[in-house]
Amino acid sequence: MPTVVTLHRETGARAYTRPMDFTVIGVDGDDTLWHSEGHFVLTEQRFTELLAPWVDAETVHATLLDTERRNLTHFGYGVKGFTLSMIETALQLTGHRIDGVHVERIIDLGKELLSHPVELLDGVAETIEALSRRHRLVLVTKGDLFHQESKVAASGLADLFERIEIVAEKDVATYTRVLARMGVAPAAFCMVGNSVKSDILPVLEIGGAGIHVPYHVTWALEHAEVELGHPRMAGVAGIRQVPEAITALESARWAA
């Protein structure tokens, strides 16, 4: 692709830019940079075993999901809200007969989930490093503020990001605010993440682009239909293919 030379009308200065390229790349944290949902699934299995004397696994799963959905507006995303939802579910399903020892074990499940070491997904470190050489990077993640801050710090990737945005919800309003803070237009922004609902759809809605990198498990409350064939969206098998997908999306815009 040719470099476009624009002449500034007032100063006569030449700016070598490719106006169709993505200036800023947004990257999701949980299940895009590091493992997360797999740990929640294992914790839920242990929670189910804990309640086995009272109730079957299927009922536990369905009730916990309902409780989490209801509690999102109270506690937001993250492990602390999940732990409170487990306790509430246990009280409900045992008719308040669950004893203090079991409640304490549920709290411990939550603490273990919070203290789980950060494990980067395959190819993350080198890909983020490569992207940082060509783009301004912003990490956009939701969940408990304290937990997300610790994960970012433990990931060793923080210095590669211009901004770290730990947000309550990933919707149109949030992305609009993040882009305004960075002084970038939606058309120059591309978001990379595993959740179509949180990382892709709201960004497409404001005129940005999205690259979906699937994770092997998706939380039920993050399920959304993949909008196949959207001109500003790409899907890749793993994060290593993201730089290539960015170039392809940029080239498609140049050709359009």
Torsion of CA 112, 118, 119, 120, to 10 degrees: 150
Per CB under 5 A, 68 contacts Mg ion: no
Cβ at position 14, least distance to Mg ion in Å: 41
* Site track 193-232 with Mg ion (rule: CB under 5 A), x = hit: -xx-------------------------------------
In the set 30, 68, 144, 165, which binds Mg ion (CB under 5 A)?
Answer: 30
Q: Which residues contact 177 (CB under 8 A, 6 or more apart)?
A: none
Per CB under 5 A, 31 contacts Mg ion: yes
Largest CA distance in the chain: 78
Q: Determine the distance from the C-alpha atom of residue 203 to the mean position of all C-alpha atoms in its chain, rounded to a whole number.
A: 13
Residue 6 vs residues 20, 149, 160: alpha-carbon distances, Å? 13, 41, 29
Residue type, 125: A
Alpha helices (runs of H) in 94-171, residue ranges in sequence order: 100-114, 124-134, 145-155
* Site track 146-185 with Mg ion (rule: CB under 5 A), x = hit: ----------------------------------------
The two beta strands, 4-7 and 14-17, are antiparallel
Per CB under 5 A, 43 contacts Mg ion: no
Cβ at position 32, least distance to Mg ion in Å: 5
Cβ at position 157, least distance to Mg ion in Å: 15
Task: Find out whether 183 and 162 touch, Cβ atoms under 8 Å.
Answer: no
Q: Closer CB to Mg ion, residue 15 or residue 221?
A: 221
Per CB under 5 A, 89 contacts Mg ion: no
Q: Closer CB to Mg ion, residue 27 or residue 98?
A: 27
Give the residues lining the site for Mg ion (CB under 5 A). Answer: 28, 30-31, 194-195
